Amino acid sequence: MKLTDNEKHMLEGEEGEARAWALDKLVKLGEYYGAPSMVDIVYAHLAKPRAGIDLTMLNLYDDMVKKGGKFKVTTSTNPEAFDFDKPEILGISQESIKLQERWSHAVLSMGAVPTRTCTMYWSGIVPRMGEHVAFNESSSIAYVNSVLGARTNTESQISALLSALTGKTPKMVYHLDENRRGNTLVKLEAIPAHLTEWDALGLHLTQVLPGDAVPVFTNMPQTVRTWELKRMNASLGYGLGPPIGLWHAAGITPEAATQEQAFKGEQPRAEVVVTPRDIQKVYELSEWHGPVDLIHFGCPHLSVPEMAMVASMFQSKRVSSNVQAWVVTSPAVKKVSDTAGYTAILEQAGVIVLSGMCCATLPKKEAREIMGGKVLVTDSGKHWNLAPSIMGDVGLRTILKTTEEVVTAAVTGRI
């Protein structure tokens, strides 16, 4: 790998121990993949190690702090395990909250911006087309690459940390022009009619495409909204098969003014047709009839228009006394929702509105207490897929339904 003088000096320790160690590891990763060089990034985004589980990663953060580590670029953060505005609302103990704060303190001391959201692009962190970044948040990868036309790889927690410290990432995978060329034609036989169908579409595509597929949609509707794409991208990033990190659609994604441009003049290597039955089969993966316990909206965190939408669906309704209904968003969007009156409407209906958190980062004890053995209904493909396994086996059962059906389940207490 060809290193710049600045990089050589960093490796020699001229910018401190933390950056020297960090760059050494990133260079080794780049060398494994034959990266020609490193590339400078403009943003990094960090996700939190799970308290009580990812102890070694947490220790690594403290180690970087001890070695004088400071972030070189604007570094935003993923959701925490509790809502900083209402920490005990889900019954998380003070003791657990104290344990959770260790990571928060470490990243803040190194200069992080506490966006506390998986939707950093709606919290003031917006990469421009062509900008190189290093994001550790699986739902954001295809959003950054496809919708924004910026460039990120699927980072791990530690590669993103080390990139934040050094301001660099190996020039490989999606940072290289040749790897951004579309290679798979995707035709939608039916245009998604519900929000959740975008989630289901993402889940389906991860079942039928290999990890190096770069889909080019021939007929994505020109009316598609960013939050619909957010949902598809979340499922593409954490789906039922290898993640898809980049796709194109003529007139919609910045690198595809035309379909030919998306393919860079080459022929697709494969063609996929998505039928209505393909989408229906995704819903059939979670059949349930009976009472439910938890209702979840907000994986990824809801956008302002989605907050308005869900609020209007709960207007003049009342959440059943045997369920707990959560609407989760970023602190930035929550602020706007408060001022716009959406939060009040939701709370009037008995919904708990949470910000800056994700139940997937709950420590095992709290995960068991709050979600153990429960039935959770969600309109999020990623949450349906991820929640049962990421907290370890606490016996959580998740059901995927359309947004309307989830509201009905909240009000009736059953499916």
**Contacting residues toward another protein, per CB under 8 A:** 25, 28-29, 31-34, 53-57, 60, 138, 153-159, 172-173, 206, 211, 238-243, 385-386, 389-390
Closer to another protein by CB, 150 or 158: give it.
158
Indicate the residue type of 145: N
Give phi and psi for 249, each to the nearest 5. Answer: -150, 125
Closer to another protein by CB, 262 or 358: give it.
358
Contacts of 144 (CB under 8 A, 6+ apart): 121, 127, 133, 135, 150, 151, 152
Angle (CA) 191 194 199, round 5°: 85
Half-sphere exposure of 153 (CA within 13 A, CB side): 24
Distance in Å, CB of 58 to another protein, minimum? 10
Distance in Å, CB of 56 to another protein, minimum? 4
104 neighbors 80 (Cβ within 8 angstroms): yes
Distance in Å, CB of 269 to another protein, minimum? 17
Closer to another protein by CB, 34 or 290: give it.
34
Dihedral class, residue 69 (left if φ above 0, else alpha if ψ from -120 to 50, else beta)? beta
Distance in Å, CB of 139 to another protein, minimum? 12
- Map 273-323 to HEC letters: EECHHHHHHHHCCCCCCCECCEEEEEEEEECHHHHHHHHHHHCCCCCCCCC
Closer to another protein by CB, 3 or 57: give it.
57
Distance in Å, CB of 245 to another protein, minimum? 11
Give phi and psi for 384, each to the nearest 5. Answer: -55, -40
Distance in Å, CB of 161 to another protein, minimum? 11
* Residue 235 tokens, joined: 């499922």
Which of 180, 182, 183 shows the shortest CA–CA distance to 144? 180
Distance in Å, CB of 33 to another protein, minimum? 7
39 neighbors 163 (Cβ within 8 angstroms): no
H or E element in which residue 44 lies: strand 43-46
337 neighbors 307 (Cβ within 8 angstroms): yes
Closer to another protein by CB, 322 or 389: give it.
389
Distance in Å, CB of 388 to another protein, minimum? 11
Question: Taking every pair of C-alpha atoms in the chain, what is the biggest distance, in angstroms?
Answer: 65
* Residue 267 tokens, joined: 């022929």
* Residue 281 tokens, joined: 């089969």
Distance in Å, CB of 318 to another protein, minimum? 36
Closer to another protein by CB, 25 or 128: give it.
25
Distance in Å, CB of 233 to another protein, minimum? 15
Closer to another protein by CB, 354 or 391: give it.
391
Closer to another protein by CB, 118 or 351: give it.
118
Closer to another protein by CB, 307 or 391: give it.
391
Closer to another protein by CB, 67 or 317: give it.
67
Distance in Å, CB of 154 to another protein, minimum? 5
Which of 293, 379, 390, 338 shows the shortest CA–CA distance to 79? 390
- What 8-state DSSP symbol labels residue 71? -
Strand 184-188's sheet: what is its strand order?
Answer: 248-249, 215-217, 184-188, 270-274
Closer to another protein by CB, 243 or 268: give it.
243
